[in-house]
Amino acid sequence: MAQKSTFRFKERADTERIAKRIARAGICSRRDAESRIAEGRVYLNGERLDTPATLVTADDVIHVDGKLLPNAEGTRLWRYYKPRGLVVSARDEQGRETIFDHLPETMPRVITVGRLDLDSEGLLLLTNDGELARHLELPSTGWIRKYRVRVQGRVNEEELASLADGITIHGIHYDSLLARLDKQLNSNAWLTVAIREGKNREIRRVMEALGYRVSRLIRLSYGPFQLGTMEDGDVQEVKQGALMDQLGMTEPEDRGPTLSLKRGQKRKPKRSFHKSGAPNAGQRKSARSQSSASKSDQRKAARPQADKFRSSRSKP
C-alpha cells in the first residue's frame, strides 16, 4: 500500500515558476507543463496563461486541461532493481524498452536519481521530488556508490590499488576510486568498486583503460540505500522515517572499513589494502571502534537499510 506523507525535502518558496508547481503536483514533467502552457491548456486565476515564466504563490488558482491543480505530493523515494536491457529514460528515440514501461501502474510520476546504462543493473533510486533528485546526484552530497563488477582476464591488484589516487583517461579526470579483488577465476574476476563522482560510464571506462572489459556491473548501494535481497524489477518504497533520517544527516556515513572515502581525502594504495584484499590492522581497529553496541543499536533503529559493507564474497 502506498504511504501517505506530508514530508517535503525543502520548504516551499513564497513564489515559484508555474511549470515547476505543475510538475510538483504530479501532473507531468516541467517540460511537458511548459508545452501545455504554450498550447493554451493552463489557466491562472481564470485567465489563460501564455508564458511559463510566470511566478505563482500558494494563493493562486491553477487549472490544467480544465481541472483544478491538486496540492503538491509529499516527498517519496523508492528503491528499484533495474534489470539489464532497459533504458533509464522516459522516452527512447530508438524505440527500446525503458524502465518506465515496467514500473507498477500504481506508482505516481517519478524521476530517476542518476542513471544506469543499458547493460548495467542493480539499485536505482526513484523519487517524485525533482529537488531531491538533484540534491542526491550532486558530487558535493558525498554519497558513495558501490558496485559488484565482473571483468574478463586476470587482475593486477596493484593496478586496482593505484586507482585510489584517481586516473585521467583521454583528458577526463576520474577522482579516487576504491577497487578490491574479491575472487579471481580462470577467465574472469569479481571486484567490488566504490566511487563518489559517478561520471558517465565511469567504471567501464576506467577498467577498459586498465585492459579489463566489464562483462557485468551491478550497483549494490547508493549512499545508505541498499540493494539488499531485491531481484530484477522489484520496487520498494523507502519508509518515511528512514528517508527523513537520511536527509537530515549533515555528513553521510559509509561504514565499510575497506571501502570508505572521506570527503576530500585520497588514500595511498598501501594503506588501503593488503595484496590479499583484506583490511589492515589500523582499519580493523577503526571498524571495531565504530561498532560499539550502543552505536549499532542506534543505527539499526534509525537506518534499517544502513550501508554496512561486509567482506563476505557471495555471488550475485
Spatial CB neighbours of 94, under 8 Å, sequence gap ≥ 6? none
101: annotated active-site residue: no
Q: How far apart are CA 175 and CA 180, in angstroms?
A: 16
The one-letter code for the residue type at 56 is: V
- Give residue 6's pLDDT band: very low, low, confident or very high (50, 70, 90): low
Residue 43's pLDDT is 95
Average pLDDT, rounded, for the chain? 78
The class of domain 77-278 in CATH terms is alpha beta
**What was the pLDDT predicted at 12?**
52
Cα angle 16, 19, 23 (rounded to 5 degrees) comes to 100
Question: Which three three-digit cell numbers place residue 14?
Answer: 513564497
- Predicted confidence (pLDDT) per residue in 111-167, tens digit: 899 899 999 999 999 998 877 888 888 877 778 999 999 999 999 999 999 999 999
DSSP for the chain, written as a single string? -PPP----SSPPPSSEEHHHHHHHTTSS-HHHHHHHHHTT-EEETTEE---TT-EE-TT--EEETTEEPPPPPPP-EEEEEEPTT-BSSS--TT---BGGGTS-TTS---EEES---TT-EEEEEEES-HHHHHHHH-GGG---EEEEEEEES---HHHHHHGGG-EEETTEEE---EEEEEEE-SSEEEEEEEESS--TTHHHHHHHHTT--EEEEEEEEETTEE-TT--TT-EEEPPHHHHHHHHT-SS-----SSS---TT----HHHH--TTS---HHHHHHHHHH--HHHHHHHHHH-TT-----------
Residue of 60, 92, 117, 245 marked catalytic: 117
pLDDT higher than 60, residue 192: yes
Give the rounded percent of residues in the chain with a pLDDT score beyond 90: 48
Positive or negative CA dihedral for 15, 20, 21, 25?
negative
Question: Of 310 and 73, which is predicted with more confidence?
Answer: 73
pLDDT tens digits for 35-66?
999 999 999 999 999 888 899 988 899 999 99
**In whole angstroms, what is the distance from residue 209 CA to residue 293 CA?**
43
Average pLDDT over residues 170-196: 95
Look at residues 159, 172, 308, 306 and name the one whose alpha carbon lies nearest to residue 245: 306
Determine the pLDDT at residue 275: 34
* Gap between the Cα atoms of 77 and 167, Å rounded: 33
Query: Are 16-68 and 77-278 in the same CATH fold?
Result: no
Q: Sign (positive/negative) of CA torsion 86, 87, 90, 96? A: negative
Can you give the pTM of this predicted structure? Answer: 0.68
Question: How large is the average pLDDT for residues 82-111?
Answer: 90
Under 8 Å between Cβ of 129 and 208: no
- Cell for 220? 549494490
**Which CATH architecture fits 16-68?**
Roll (3.10)
Determine how β-strand 214-222 pairs with β-strand 121-127: parallel
| pLDDT at residue 140, as a whole number | 77
Report the distance separating Cα 305 and Cα 241, nearest Å: 12
Sequence spans of domains, the chain: 16-68, 77-278
